[in-house]
Amino acid sequence: MELIFFFIMAVLSVLSALTVVFAKSPVHSVLSLIVTFFLLSGQYVLLNAQFVAIVNLIVYAGAIMVLFLFVLMLLNLKDETEPQKSNLVRLSVTISAGMLLLTLIGSVRGAIAIPPSPAQSATVGLVENLGKILFSDFVVPFEVASILFIAAMVGAVLIGKRNKETDSEPLTTF
């Protein structure tokens, strides 16, 4: 039963991930990326990681992708207005992306397969267990990550802040 669900979702997520790359319209790309996130959340549920699944939905599908879609809708990109890339640029982008792929494959090939953890019980991904591990074994990386987030937030506020001397009134209404 779980295996069937896994394969259905795996095939669908690969398909929707390919749609992200190949879709002509950027809005369609973003929408298929949202579908991919949903399918990945389904995989997390199959792995008993319910908390990670729902946080993935709330943060990525619910907040970050809404912002992506928001910006794309505001820009309202159309085929006529979008600048067309020359063939030289396309060729160089293809080659460099291919080289990145090769590097990634090479690094993964040399890695050792990590054996599945013995504690693969149904409760491994519950909030209680995750919280206990985060605040005992991984407390330093966890706190460092939160400081990083605060620094990023302060930076974003600083960039977004209006310079009183040079800028005019901000646009507050839609």
**Nearer Cβ to another protein (70/100):** 70
Among 17, 124, 126, 134, binds another protein (CB under 8 A): 126
* CA-angle at 33, arms to 35 and 70, nearest 5°: 110
Q: Which residue has the tokens 């074994």?
A: 137
Which pair of structure tokens corresponds to residue 87?
Answer: 């063939």
Complex with another protein: residue 19 or 50, whichever CB lies closer: 50
| CB of residue 28 to another protein, shortest distance in Å | 8
Q: Are the beta carbons of 34 and 110 closer than 8 angstroms?
A: no
Helices (H), 23-86: 26-46, 50-55, 65-75
Q: Which residues neighbour 142 within 8 Å (Cβ) at sequence distance 6 or greater?
A: 134, 135
Distances (CA, A) of 168 to 9, 119, 158, 159, 162: 50, 59, 17, 16, 9
Interface segment toward another protein; rule CB under 8 A; list 54-62, 98-106, 138-146, 147-155? 54-62
* 31 scored as a contact of another protein (CB under 8 A): yes
The reply on whether position 69 binds another protein by CB under 8 A is yes
Rule CB under 8 A: choose which of 12, 51, 124, 129 binds another protein. Answer: 51
Q: Kindly identify the residues of this chain, within the stretch 73-102, that bind another protein according to CB under 8 A.
A: 73-74, 76
Q: Comparing C-alpha atoms, which of 57, 59, 44 is closest to residue 124?
A: 44
63 lines the binding site for another protein (CB under 8 A): yes
Single-letter residue type at 1: M
Q: Using the rule CB under 8 A, is 33 a contact of another protein?
A: no
**Where in 142-161 is the site for another protein (CB under 8 A)?**
none
Residues of this chain that bind another protein (CB under 8 A): 27, 31, 34, 50-51, 54-55, 57-58, 61-63, 66-67, 69-70, 73-74, 76, 126-127, 172-174
